[in-house]
Amino acid sequence: MPPLLPPSLPDGPTYGVLARFAGPRELLHACERVRDAGFTRWDAHSPFPVHGLDRAMGLGTSPLPWIVLALGLAGAAGAMLLQWWVHVRAYPLVISGKPLFSWPAFVPVTFEVGVLFGALGAVFGMFGLNRLPMHHHPLFQSATFERVSDDGFFVSIESWDPKFDAQTTTRMLRDLGAVDVELLASS
């Protein structure tokens, strides 16, 4: 049986190369060059989202809004259905002479549940697309990578990229102005 999700990490002894850059500007320029060199299995890491980095990396748009829309509409429809079912099927009781399916009174709950499901879709959709939680990752072997949540700006190129070669890729990153470059093993 094939796995549910495609693998997210390269197999083989080498994970890839990790290079640290001095700041957001250096990171942005390096990403533009890595993108233009034709790499596909690589990433940038920064303590905060750097403006313009998505384009510099050549990333497409996030499909997240579609997940949110679908779940939000499903939640709203489900809430309306629940209220219809309660008042028309499960417990039909005439209250204040209103029809059993007095839908205008059901709008607030429909709206709220739609928002709830949309928000659930945004949060769990985001973590799902990001393959999080993933508490173990080869990048965490690096001692300098601790700085990614403080002041470190990194580019990582994974070994299963067709253009990857341990030596030439390391040299390319050095030429792009990386402060330090290290080769990481698969953990």
Per the CB < 8 A criterion, the answer to whether 79 and 113 are in contact is yes
Tokens of 177: 């102005």
**Does the protein bind other proteins through residue 50 (CB under 8 A)?**
yes
Residue of 9, 109, 179, 183 that binds other proteins (CB under 8 A) = 109
What whole-number distance in Å separates Cα of residue 91 and Cα of residue 102? 14
- Smallest distance, other proteins to C-beta of residue 140, A: 7
Q: 181 to each of 7, 26, 113, 184, how far by Cα in Å? A: 25, 14, 49, 10
Could you tell me how many residues of this chain bind other proteins (CB under 8 A)? 70
64 binds other proteins per the rule CB under 8 A = yes
The span from the CA of 47 to the CA of 133, in Å, is 18
Radius of gyration of the chain (CA): 24
Q: From the list 81, 115, 166, 185, which residue makes contact with other proteins (rule: CB under 8 A)?
A: 115
Residues at the site binding other proteins, with contacts judged by CB under 8 A: 23-25, 27-28, 31, 43-54, 57, 59, 62, 64-65, 68, 72, 82-83, 86-87, 90-91, 95-96, 98, 102, 105-106, 108-109, 111-113, 115-116, 118-120, 122-123, 125-127, 129-130, 132-137, 139-140, 145-151, 154
